[in-house]
Amino acid sequence: MLAFVRRSLVTLCIATPALAGAQQPEGFKNLQVLPKDISRADLLATMRRFTASLGVRCSDCHVVKNPGQMPEQLDPSLDDKEMKKVARMMLQMTMDINGKYLVQTGRTFTPRTRVTCETCHRGASKPRTLAAEVMGALEAKDADSAVTRYRELREKSYGRAMYDFGEASLPMMADELTRARRGDDAMKLLQLNLEFYPKSGMTYSAIAMGQAQRGDTAAAVATIEKGLAASPDNPQLKQLLARLKGERPQP
């Protein structure tokens, strides 16, 4: 099992300020999932992997014996924090995926392709989709809050693969809102998407269809023509424009 832990969790470990500053005890107590004979180097490397993959500190799981003082004195033997209990279950789940289920596929997995904390978390303490964050903000308050949340996440996380900021993400959320008869909220997300994807044919098309459904054909045609100016070869826009004008769509 020690070799498994090294392959699955220690690969590419990154030193963090949190671990550099925290005082670690020499002996290991209360190890319930990790092998009890794990070396100090491997254990600390595993903990570093946790902090890097989840964007957390040692004190998020471990009890601090000297709050407010530096360096922090941790007591890993205590199980007072819920986060530590959850971490154990997640670690066991990861081991089961790699050691049981992936093996049953008959395929070969390397240290770089095995499941690790980073596979799901990608730097976030709670792995959630972009839709969960944005739509959650909208449901908790309003569409403006959803727009603000999207901007916050994009500013903080863009390029880290923590969330899917691709062209289709906001239009998919907008489609969900449209089906829920929340057209105004959908339009706000679509307009936001154009800010980041100004040539997005799918976004112009969605806006135009929303306008057409409201009976504003003139606005829909204007939107499509604007979209075609940005993306001249977009077939979806061309077909939608032809239908709105009562013309036969060009193949």
Classify residue 68: in a domain, yes or no.
Answer: yes
* Closest C-alpha among 226, 186, 228, 232 to residue 206: 186
Classify residue 249: in a domain, yes or no.
Answer: no
State the first-to-last Cα distance of the chain, in angstroms, to the nearest integer: 60
**Segments forming the whole domain that contains residue 77:** 2-121
Please report the pLDDT score of residue 25 as a whole number. 45
Are 51 and 109 part of one and the same domain? yes
Distance CA 62, CA 206 (A): 49
Question: Domain boundary at 72, 102, 121, which?
Answer: 121
Residue 133 in tokens:
């964050």
Count of domains in the chain?
2
Over residues 51-91, the pLDDT tens digits come to: 878 888 888 889 998 888 878 888 888 888 898 899 899 99
* Phi–psi pair at 63, nearest 5 degrees: -70, 135
Residue 213 in tokens:
């459904």
Over residues 131-150, the pLDDT tens digits come to: 999 999 999 999 999 999 99
Residue 167 in tokens:
């062209």
pTM, to two decimals:
0.70
Residue 45 in tokens:
């490397």
Q: Give the helix/strand (H/E) hosting 223.
A: helix 217-230
Distance CA 212, CA 233 (A): 22
